[in-house]
Amino acid sequence: MSGLLIKSPLAVLGHQDCAGIVLRDGRIAEVLKPGQAPSARVDDVFDASRHVVLPGLVNTHHHFYQTLTRAHPQAINKKLFDWLKALYPVWSRLTPEAVRLSTRLALTELLMSGVTTTSDHHYLFPADLGEAMDIQVEEARRLGIRMTVTRGSMNLSEKDGGLPPDSVVQDEDEILADCERVIGKYHERGEGAMIQIALAPCSPFTVTKSLMCACGDLAEKHDCRLHTHLAETRDEDAFCHSVFGMSPLDYLEDVGWLNSRTWLAHGIHFSDGDVKRLGQHGVGVCHCPTSNMVLASGQCRTRELEAAGAPVGLGVDGSASNDSSNLMEGVRHALMINRLTYDASVTHLDALRWATKGSAACLGRSDIGEIAVGKQADLAMFTLDELRFSGAGDPVAALVLCGAHRADRVMVGGKWRVVDGLPVGVDVAALRAAHGEAARRFL
């Protein structure tokens, strides 16, 4: 069997004194101790003596289309509901080409920050955007990144008491038919899957209970996952009590989503009892520290959730509420906001765990998120050559504390996808120009 030896790494997350990592057939075959040689011949050797090696980062919440409206003048300095009301009319002008360019740019940014698996929550479907999921799959395959493509949806518009305008919602039958189509066409099961499908009605204030229940039934039928925004703001809590007569978590249980298929975006405003219930049922929570700070939404109870048994992952969230698609930057933000929430005993290892193993658990995957024998060969490799790292003692801690934001090498399934800091096969300057031109149409 041929193989690749990642030789003499500067440091490896989860392994002290690692002398090398042997990769074969897209998986991790061996993690070598000092003085240990590969058990079988390797054809290639990569000298990693300048590199800190992490498992590929896993991003569990994003909105790719929002890269077109970063720092939008109509939306800056607003809380969530006001921010959404300002941007929904702007986003109603989305076109297939705009979705393609925004997806390509977001995926490229994520790869360059060390992400090897991502999800995206696309829930806007104005006219002529019926193939949005197909576009996202094409772009993910083109770049060679793993992706959980969530078929999002909204069917509760302003006229029905919801938040979005009529122009960006669909009716329930149309949504469910496309969910079935996308699952049947793209959903891969088992280890090493490159494309998986999840069903993702947007939020309690943009979808009907009927749609939530129907998506839950479809997920059970097709063995796929469920995703939605929940408990992000106090306004959402008030909405659920006003419209449904119950709390956001009671609503989640009422529609049949309180189970281990589900992972939630944000999950900020949960009571002690809510946290206990989430852990008992294995519901995952994607912590979005940057977005939570930008929109002043609140602070996720990460420690309590993990202690209760709920998987906790990390997400950059949409680029209109983060203004970046950089998960390594999000790791640092997660460390800082959680130290402010708790104390200095929250460590860089906690934040890195959320971005790797925790995020993988949110997506229902046990084959990624760790550097261990049998796991997929998904690696993010960083150098410490920049001025910001000079004087750093602990190489892994330095990535977080000194603000690493760009990987030097990224591998997905044993294949290099970023080399010398640049994505393989992508003209970054041309992408920037094309995306920038498309974004100007949204001002």
- Write out the chain's pLDDT in tens, 443 residues: 579 999 999 999 999 999 999 999 999 999 999 999 999 999 999 999 999 999 999 999 999 999 999 999 999 999 998 999 999 999 999 999 999 999 999 999 999 999 999 999 999 999 899 999 999 999 999 999 999 999 999 999 988 888 888 999 999 999 999 999 999 999 999 999 999 999 999 999 899 999 999 999 999 999 999 999 999 999 999 999 999 999 999 999 999 999 999 999 999 999 999 999 999 999 999 999 999 999 999 999 999 999 999 999 999 999 889 999 999 999 999 999 999 999 999 999 999 999 999 999 999 999 999 999 999 999 999 999 999 999 999 999 999 999 999 999 999 999 999 999 999 999 999 999 999 999 999 99
Contact 332, 403 (CB under 8 A): yes
Task: Enumerate the domain spans of the chain.
Answer: 4-55+376-423, 57-362
Contact 265, 230 (CB under 8 A): yes
Pairing of strands 44-47, 4-7: parallel
Q: Is 224 helix (H, G, I), strand (E, B) or coil?
A: coil
Indicate the burial class of 184 (C-beta count within 10 angstroms; 0-12, 13-18, 19 or more): exposed
Tell me the one-letter amino acid at 438.
A
Residue with tokens 């392994």: 15
Rounded distance, CA 12 to CA 45, Å?
A: 17
Contact 299, 337 (CB under 8 A): yes
pTM of the model: 0.97
Rounded distance, CA 400 to CA 59, Å?
A: 16
**What distance, in Å, lies between the first and last C-alpha atoms of the chain?**
55
Q: Among 3.40.630.30, 3.90.660.20, 2.30.40.10, 1.10.8.80, name the CATH number for the domain at 4-55+376-423.
A: 2.30.40.10
> Residues 70-85, buried b or exposed e (16+ Cβ, 10 A)?
bebeebeebebeebbb
Q: Is 193 left (phi over 0), alpha (psi -120 to 50) or beta?
A: beta
Q: What architecture is the 57-362 domain classified under in CATH?
A: Alpha-Beta Barrel (3.20)
Helix 96-112 × helix 132-143 angle, to 10°: 30
Indicate the burial class of 368 (C-beta count within 10 angstroms; 0-12, 13-18, 19 or more): buried
Report CA dihedral (423, 378, 317, 386) to the nearest 10 degrees.
Answer: -60
